[in-house]
Amino acid sequence: MDGDNDVAANLQKIAALAHEADPAVPIYSSTWRFSQRLVGALDIWGTGPQGTFPVDEMARRRAAGETLWFTTDGQMCIDTPYCAIERLLPYFCFRYDHAAYEFWGVSWWTYNPWERGWHQYIRQSDEGKEYYYIRYPNGDGYLTYPGDAVGVKGPVSSIRLEQAREGMEDYEALRILQQRVDEARAAGRKTADADAALAAARALVSIPNNGGRFSSELLPDPEAVSRIRERVLRAADRLERANAE
C-alpha cells in the first residue's frame, strides 16, 4: 500500500469526503498491510491474519482508538484439509483483540460449484490502469452452494460455513469464560484453571503463519480444537457455580 501512491491517495480522498459528510461514519478498508499514509483516514483496519500487519502495530492502532478486523480473501478454500482457518479465525480475534473478521463473498460462483470446484479466469485491475487475468483460489468467494440443483429455495450451507459457525460459538464460550474470570478475580477467588484454559485457547493460533491455505500447518492436530473447547466450557461452568455461591 505504501508503494502504491495512487491507491493510498484515492483512499485518503474518499475517507475525507465520507468524514466531511458524517464525522461519525466508520471508514473500513481491507488493507491487509499497515500503511502510515492511511493513519487518520481509517477507523477500521482490515489486517492479514498470517502476519502481513505487524502485531505491535495492531496494539498501536487499538491504543489510538481504532478498530481491527481480520480480512480473509483467498484464505477459505475448498481444497484445504481440516477447514482450519474457518474454525480458527474467532480464536485469532480473541487472541489479537480484533472485533470481527470479514469474508468478501458467500455466493460468488464463476462456475456452477456443484459441477466444478474451481473458478474461471477473470480480468481485473489493481489501480484501474493495467489489467490482467487471474483465477482466484478454489472456493474463494463462496461458502454456500446454489440450492436449485438440489431442490432447495435459497443457498445451501457448506462444511466450511458450518465450521465458521462452530468457531463463532467457540468465541462466545471464550468471552463468557473471560467475563467469569474477571468476576471471580474481583471477588478474590482463584482462577488458575480458567486462566490455563484461556491460555491454551490463545496458543492455538499465532502470527505470523503460512496462511489459511496451509491448514495442516495452521492446525497440525485438528482434535485440539475440540479438546480446548470442552476445557473452556468446563472451566466456565465451574466458575459460574463458584460465582453463584
Is pLDDT above 60 for 98?
Answer: yes
Q: How far apart, in Å, do the first and last CA atoms of the chain sit?
A: 54
140-177 per-position pLDDT tens digit:
999 999 999 999 999 999 999 999 999 999 999 999 99
Cell of 63: 491504543
Instruction: State the chain's maximal CA–CA distance in angstroms.
Output: 67
107-146 per-position pLDDT tens digit:
999 999 999 999 999 999 987 889 999 999 999 999 999 9
Cell of 98: 480484533
CA distance 70 to 50: 10
Question: Average pLDDT, whole number, for the chain?
Answer: 93
The pLDDT-based confidence of 4 (bands split at 50, 70, 90) is low
173-196 per-position pLDDT tens digit:
999 999 999 999 999 999 999 999
The DSSP line for 67-127 is EEEEE-TTT--TTSGGGHHHHHHHHHHHHTT-SEEE-S-SB--SS-TTT-SSPPEEEEESS
